Amino acid sequence: MVCSVFNKKNKIMTKKTKKNDNEFSKTLRFHGISKRMLGQEMNLSQPTIKSYCENPQKFRLDQLRKIGQMTSMDMNSIDELIDGKE
């Protein structure tokens, strides 16, 4: 899977994403948020973040709000992303 992103000079760059990444992880990466950064921001360990990203229904509401603030997404968009509705 390839995502298009703009660099500082407004040139299109492509980022390769892992085939086993779900839409939630792909969306975080699109917004420039790595699992490591998310873990540091939420004060969670890396194994916990990995588990939560593989199954985003495990996130608590306050954690989802924090992700919404980091990505500028509203809660409805995050809910649709987690449930797989597009």
Give the count of alpha carbons within 13 A of 86, CB side only.
4
Residue-level pLDDT at 7: 56
pLDDT at residue number 28: 93
Q: Is the pLDDT of residue 59 over 90?
A: yes
3 vs 33 pLDDT, higher one:
33
Domains, the chain, with CATH or none: 18-83 (1.10.260)
Using DSSP, state whether 1 is helix, strand or coil: coil
Question: What single-letter DSSP state applies at residue 58?
Answer: G
For residue 55, count CB atoms less than 10 angstroms from its CB and return exposed for 0-12, middle for 13-18, buried for 19 or more: exposed
Percentage of the chain with pLDDT > 70?
A: 74
Report d(CA 4, CA 7) in Å as an integer.
10
Q: Kindly report the average pLDDT of the chain as a whole number.
A: 83
Q: Identify which has the larger pLDDT, 38 or 3.
A: 38
Residue 26, pLDDT above cutoff 80: yes
Please report which confidence band the pLDDT of residue 72 belongs to, taking 50, 70 and 90 as the band edges: very high
